[in-house]
Amino acid sequence: MINPEFKRNLWLQFSFHRLIAMPAILGLIFFAFSIASNNFPGGLPLDSIALILFGGIVCLWGTRSASSAVIDEIRDKTWDQQRMSALNPWTMTWGKLFGATAFNWYGGVLCFLVFVVAALTREDAMTFTSILTLIALGILMHAATISLNLHLMRSDIRAVQRGGIAWAVVLMVFLFAPRLRSGVDASVLWWGQPFAYSAFLLASTIFFAAFAVFAAWRSMSSALQITTVPWAWPLACCLLAVYVAGFTDGAGLLWIALLFSMSMTYAALFSEENDIALWQRVIARAKAGNWHGLFRNLPIWPTTLVLSFCFALLLQFSNGEDLPFKLPATIASLSFLALTLALMLLRDCCVYLFFAFSGKSNRVGATTILYLALINGLLPFLSKMMGLKSLSIFFMPLHIGNGWVMLGIAALHALLALALLGWRWRQQALKDDLLPQTS
């Protein structure tokens, strides 16, 4: 039986007019460029035109269509009906992933056929790996957009409704995507082994596309309120670190893993729900010894927070692994740097939870960023300008040359943040105890 979500999207995407309009317009475009190339030999060949149109229809327009698959449900207030349906997360995921973008893939298939015919008839043609890479890139962008929309649906619904996620994905791909075509003899050195550039790019795009599809499925499970154990987030961190470290032949693998785990902790922390009711459920299950229930209710950011401390400890006892990058000149000491960064990450997480537990969670992220900017930037700068070097070092310990003092100040920051968080927790618990008496 066909996926009902996929079938519903097909009915929404296709009409007799659209079925006829897509090949007619594409045919006119290809015909115009073929006439132009005959009159002006220096023009773009048809296979290159087909690739450009494929990228525009599938990667750009298709990403917008994938985003609308979630945005339209929210705007039309039909998402609750979707959640109450009997469809499982995977059925819902691929139904939206390929159903909402079916019309874009229809145009993409037409461009692919033109590419094949043009490439076979031209000697210096683009390779088939180029369009296969674009196909994988399209799936990557569509799945990433759906995943981010679903993940941010509850934490910042206004950003989802404005459709900004689709353009953010397009911008990230535009900024970080490598060249689609390189020299004939170009190669990539990864983990000490040379690979053909085009083949490596195709394999990497397929890898990240599979990553994005899996993320969309996990986000759909969370959106449908099907709890899962958060093992995928730290696994993704480790896999990304291994992939990136391959370009440095493994040098600085632990440092790369530490930076990835810290970045992913911040990303998840600022995009997940972290109200006090959630953590009360987590604490209650911990007290009852229900560890499986604890992990099923646990947000994903604590997993990479713990992973950050694991990598920091490994770096501390690995006899000083070399950095794969240059440190800023102001950071004077490398000893205990990893543990200091992990403790500062713990401090920042506690600051975020301090504001999240206040019960006024509308601007938790913005408030946290403001206070962290004051602590890490403005206050050290003012102290330094006023000649109070010791106070400046207290606010930003990374600028001191003594590793032990740097670690001690970072530990003091973390302890102060934990104490404030504990005070906030007790205050909220007291309010909860008094609430039944006043009602």
At CA 254, angle to CA 188 and CA 344, rounded to 5? 130
Reduced to 3 states (helix: H, G, I; strand: E, B; else coil), residue 101 is coil
| Radius of gyration in angstroms for the set of CA atoms belonging to the chain, rounded to a whole number | 26
End-to-end CA distance of the chain: 53
Which pTM was predicted? 0.89
Q: Is 408 exposed, middle or buried, given 0-12, 13-18 or 19+ CB atoms closer than 10 A?
A: middle
Query: Which residue type does 100 have?
Result: A
Contact status, residue 54 vs residue 115, Cβ threshold 8 Å = yes
Q: Tell me the sheet residues that pair with 189.
A: 194
* 52: Cα separation from own chain's centroid: 26
Hey, what long-range contacts does 408-417 have (CB within 8 A, 24 or more apart)?
410/339, 410/340, 410/343, 410/344, 410/347, 411/343, 413/343, 413/344, 413/347, 414/343, 414/344, 414/346, 414/347, 414/350, 416/347, 417/346, 417/347, 417/348, 417/350, 417/351, 417/354
Q: What is the DSSP letter of 321?
A: P
CA 409 – CA 346 distance, rounded (Å) = 13
Q: Which of 308, 155, 295 is nearest to 230 (CA)?
A: 295
Q: Which of 317, 281, 326 is nearest to 299 (CA)?
A: 281
At CA 70, angle to CA 67 and CA 76, rounded to 5? 125
Contact status, residue 109 vs residue 22, Cβ threshold 8 Å = no
Contact status, residue 237 vs residue 260, Cβ threshold 8 Å = yes
Contact status, residue 153 vs residue 74, Cβ threshold 8 Å = yes
Contact status, residue 152 vs residue 81, Cβ threshold 8 Å = no
Backbone φ, ψ for residue 69 (5° rounding): -60, -30
> How many other CB atoms sit within 10 Å of the CB of residue 295?
17
Q: Which residue has the tokens 């970045």?
A: 263
> How many other CB atoms sit within 10 Å of the CB of residue 373?
11
At CA 411, angle to CA 409 and CA 412, rounded to 5? 65
Q: Which of 205, 206, 209, 231 is nearest to 218 (CA)?
A: 231
**At a CB cut-off of 8 Å and minimum separation 6, what does 202 contact?**
129, 132, 133, 136
Backbone φ, ψ for residue 195 (5° rounding): -130, 145
Query: Which residue type does 138 have?
Result: G
Q: Which residue has the tokens 């996990």?
A: 218
Find the length of the chain.
439
CA 259 – CA 5 distance, rounded (Å) = 39
pLDDT tens, residue order, the chain (439 aa): 578 889 988 998 999 999 999 999 999 999 998 888 777 666 678 888 998 999 999 999 999 999 888 888 877 777 777 777 778 899 999 999 999 999 999 999 999 999 888 888 876 556 788 889 999 999 999 999 999 988 887 665 555 556 667 878 888 887 777 766 555 557 889 998 999 888 899 999 999 999 999 999 999 998 888 888 899 999 999 999 999 999 988 878 999 999 999 999 999 999 888 888 899 999 999 999 999 889 998 999 999 999 999 999 998 887 656 666 666 655 656 778 899 999 999 999 999 999 999 876 668 888 999 999 999 999 998 998 888 888 888 888 887 777 888 899 999 999 999 999 999 998 887 666 555 544 3
Contact status, residue 40 vs residue 146, Cβ threshold 8 Å = no
Contact status, residue 104 vs residue 58, Cβ threshold 8 Å = yes
